[in-house]
Amino acid sequence: MNIDENIVKILKKDAFKAFKRGEIPVSAIIVDELGKIVSHACNSRQKAYDVLGHAEITAIKKAENKIKDWRLNGYRMYVTLEPCNMCSMVIKESRLDQIFYFLPKKNDDLSLDISINKILIEGYDDEKNYFNDLITSFFNNKR
């Protein structure tokens, strides 16, 4: 798999932005059928006092507003961490075609069977290490 370097650059920038704000450093990007970036976001639960402030959900809301439709058929998402069950349900309902993620989630998250097309990104070890180091540092600082 070959990912546009601009997508990776924005994911890194947004994840770091979340980290600096005291948010879990997760970011997401939605692209259209041609690979053009439609929206991107990072976690904002703490800053916005919003339980739904996950990067994936915020990116979906932004994309829906931009294209003026809640159906995201033909669009795909890139996210730094495998989506949780809540985000997976929203992704399913928004009809995104594919979800590409860099890191698998570490907790079981109750393992609900939510059928969405999630694909773990192969390769990109430097990027995976970067995202993993941010998340590890975030939680180490919380303890």
Instruction: Give, in order, the Cα–Cα distances in Å from 25 to each of 13, 36, 46, 120.
Output: 10, 23, 12, 18
Q: Which amino acid is at 36?
A: K
Quote the CA–CA distance of 100 and 80 in Å, as a whole number: 8
Identified catalytic residue from 5, 23, 33, 56: 56
Distance of CA 73 to the CA centre of its chain: 17
The residue whose two tokens read 């005291």 is 22
The token pair at 121 is 């990104």
33 catalytically annotated: no
Catalytic residues: 56
